[in-house]
Each structure stands twice: as C-alpha cells, then as structure tokens.
Chain A
Amino acid sequence: MIDIDRYAAYYWLNRITRGNSALQELLKFRFGGAKEAWNAGVRGEIDYGSFMGEKYLDKTDPEALMRRSYAVMKNAEEKGIGVLCRDDDDYPELLREISASPALLFYEGRIEEINRCKSRLAVVGSRKCTYYGREMCTKLVSKLKNRNLCVVSGMARGIDAAAHKAALDSDIFTVAVLASGTDVVYPEENRGLYNKIKDSGVIISEQVPGTQPLKTYFPARNRIIAGIAEATFVVEAGASSGAQITANCALNEGRELLVMPHRIDSVEGAGCNDMIKDGAVCVTSHADILLSLGFDAEERRCEPYMLPEALDENQRKVLLFIKANRESDEETIAFETGIRSQEIKRALSALEIFGFIKKDTGEKYHDL
C-alpha cells in the first residue's frame, strides 16, 4: 500500500521542475510540503510564469500532468510496486548524496535492506564478457559472503548477471537497478534471475512502471548503481564500455573505484587496465575489495597447482597446457604438444567429465 496522493505530488513536483531538486525543495519550502504544493497547484495558486523565473517551471498543461502523476502512482499500486522519495527513510542513504539523485525510486523487494547493510558494493562489467571475467566475478563475489554487505548491479547480460547470480548463490543481498520499469524484464533471458532477485533481493528503477528500456536510460541507470554503493568494482571493461560510465560516476561522487586487472593484450579488459594505470585500486583477490570497504581480510597467495594422480600421460599434458594458458582450444593444443587430434579430443572430454576443465563458446577450454 502506498500513499498515492503523496507520491503523485512528488512525481508532479519532479516533472514540473524538470528534475531540478533545488527547485523542488524551494517549492516544498514555499508551500510547506509536496502535497501542499500540489494542492496549491490544484487551486491555481502557483504562478508558473513568475515563480523563480519563467524558464525553470514546466508550465505546459499542469492539469494533465497532475492526472498523469496520479495515474502513474495508481498503476504502481495496482502492480504491487513500491515507491520511495528522497525524503523517505528507506531511500538509499548514499544515493541521496549524489548530485543528480532520482526524486523517486520504484522498487520491488526489500529495499530497506540497502540501508541496513554495513556496506554496499557495485559490481559492473561488459555485457559481452570473457570466460575469465565471468569466472573471476563469480569467485570474488562469492567470497564476500557473511560480511553483511550487498552487491549492486544492473542485471544486464554478462558480468552483471554473473555478479547477481554469485550473490544469490552465496546468500548475499543483491540489488538490481534497471533501466526499464521494475516490471519490465530486459534482457528476456534473465527472467529467472529477475524473479530470484525480486524474492530475495530488490529490483530498483527510477523509471515509472511499464517503461521500456530505451538506449538513453542506461547511462542514467549507471549513475544510480554507482550512487548507491560506497565502492564500484569494474570486473571487465573494454576501451569504450558502459562500465566506464559507471566508473566515472563513482569517481565524480568521490566513491572508491576498484578494478580487476587483465592481460595486457586483452581487448575486453583494455578499459580496466587503463583505469588501474590512472590510479584505480587494483583487485587481485577478494581481500582487496574487503579492505577498501573497511572490513578485515587476509591476503591470500596463489598456490602452485596439484595434478591429480589418476590422469594418464596425455591428460596430464593437456591439462598442464590449459592451466598454463588459462584457456586454449584443440587446434592450438595439437600444435603445441604434438599429440594426435583424436587423443586430444579424448583427453579433453575426460578432463571435462572429471571437472578439471570447462568448455566454452567455440570449443575453447578453460581450467577450473
């Protein structure tokens, strides 16, 4: 149940001030609250032309705008979608502080948890991610459990989805900030994820329910992701990537920027390496993340790999080769090791069955 009149007033205020929060405060101050301002608007007491000068207030058909504001809130209520305004207690603390904080947030799920968490981490990265990016994201996020922190991301394909998934699997509270309305699932393939987040996390959007994801909404959505969290962790970003917009938002608001390093010839991770070069925190283990969020953590070193005894000659060779290169394909292994093609196929299948390696797009194999 939401207070329709109150939120309709806030929505209307936001619209007639064209999102200018200072002007909203001024109107609220002048009339003694959002609802009062609305009532004044109904009575025709607001002179749109003269209040703070003509250019600030939207004076095109204020009555229609009021009707629309009411309809939006009514619709939200019917759909069971919650609404918060900046003045509410449950509104994310840190988000309130950013320069262009959204006046209203629509949400589905337990939004109050965001403020109750000890710390919030935004995890972002490319939609078209590499196996390395996806796996490391999963590994690092799942090591953050039992710390009472929450993971914020955008429910996009690739890294975002991996972050949400890892969080859900490790019982970490997770926040998905959408560029569409909270009731519009995009991309469709993440519907399962969407339902799970709605159940045990929270879905947030500044767009009114039913809004389709337009291109222009995504950068705006990214500022909310960065704005909610103390630190933003960029897992994988190419030279020009949406993740970099999020990273810039975080820096502009004075938040911590954590970045995972990539191979120097990696195209998918070029943006990450650049950010590290420019002074972002380089994340080589989950400890780096925890330390920058103010938790205690112990550094962990990489251990040399142990090959199990049960493997035969070819399997050992193939596994060692893949481990050394992190990923490889049959053709390359055949060329480098000189083993016959059918022997390699056997070894790869066996290693995959026993869970040492994993097959990815294009029959590339990765170690686990």
Chain B
Amino acid sequence: MAHIKETRRELALDCCLLAGKIMMESGAETYRVEDTMMRMAVSQNMMNAHCFVTPTGIMFSPSDELATRFVRISSRKTDLEQVALVNSVSRKLVSGEFSLQEAYEEMQVIDKTNYSFSMRLQVLAAATASGCFLILMGGDWSDLPFAFLFGGIGYLIVDIILAQTRVKIFSEFIAAFVIAALALAVVRAGLGTNLDTLIIGSLMPLVPGLLITNAVRDLMAGHFVSGLSNGAEAFLTAFAIGAGVALVLSF
C-alpha cells in the first residue's frame, strides 16, 4: 500500500515537472509557470511544495520527505499553442476532470508533438507583417513589394542559421545585415524610395517583443532572476539586430 502511494507521488512530481518544462520551453512567463506547477501540486496533496523557475532551469521540492528534483531547460522557442494546451490539461487535472495518469500521458503527447505552422506559412506571415508595418510606419507604397520580400528573407535566414549553428545572436546579426544590405542596394539602384522605413518594416519580425514583455511581467511579479535574464536576452537580440544594420549603414 505504501509502495503504491509512493509511486503515485513520484508520478505527480514528474507531471508537475513536465508541465513546467514544456511551458518554459514554449515561452510562457515565469510567474505563470510557477503558478501552474503550484496549483497542480496542491491538487495532488503536496501542500508544502516549493518551486523555483528560471529561464534555464526548474527546481521543484514536492514535500519534506520526497527528494528535490531539477530540470534543465536548454532550448527556448515561442510556441503559444503548447502553452495553451498544457494550461488546459492542468486546469482539467485541478478540477478533477483528468486523473493523474491521463494528465501525464496527455502532457507527454504534447511534449512530443510539433504544433508549429509550416515553415512556408511562417515565412509568408513574416513577409505580410513586414509589408503591413511598412505602411503603418508611414512608408511609401512603392516600397511595399521590397519590404514583403526582405521580411520573408530575413525570417528564413534566422531559421536556417539557427538550425545550423545554434547561436541565436549570430543568426539575428546575419539576418539584419542581409536585410539592410538588400534595402540599401534597392534604394541605391533607384527602385526603393525611403531606406529608413524599408529597413524598419523588414526588421519587425525579428524584434524580441515576447522577451521584452515577459521580462517586464516577471520583474513586476517579483521574479527578479528570470526578469533580468529575459531582459538580457532581449537586449542581446536588439544589440545583434542593431549591429547588423549599423555595419551596413556605416559604408
């Protein structure tokens, strides 16, 4: 009997950690990850649970008797679909709609499935967003096809180089450099009219909007370690983009 109880608590512990890991890897705010994990823990009768979530690792101590566990988070991407799915599983577990076993199996399926839109659609979306921002920022209508093209190219370059090198800053730097160089070439050739709005519009898909928002939200919620590290990542991204453009403009 005691043995069954013990494995059940181990399963609850695994379930909490897996939920936290998926959410953190998909770009949820730290305070939300902690909140979700604590709710799940309380629903499984772990009253003295404590967790400490940072963007690079999760520590979770379920109770006085069970050992503290640690999960390393090595890669982070933005996948809001996974955040939403894990959130709904944890809601169902807390409300009693799912048993612990069901929730754990569901979570493992979520972890293994790739929910992303196809790369072609993502590039198309980035290109469309660039075109829209060009007009919203007061750019010229004749620049629209270039912004559309360069926005898509920039997004594609980030994806390809990130897959090859695993260095995010480098891929963003190269993408910004290529976009600025293309824009400069088009304007020098007399095809484009306004260099500034063309570059700004095409760079919009690379802007670290999620990181900035998360950093501020975490700082305000009192999670200073995650807030500062998210802020550092956002700053590095902005710096890489800026350096890439600056390199072209200095010619």
Whether A and B are associated in the same complex: the answer reads no
Interface residues of A (CB under 8 A from B): none
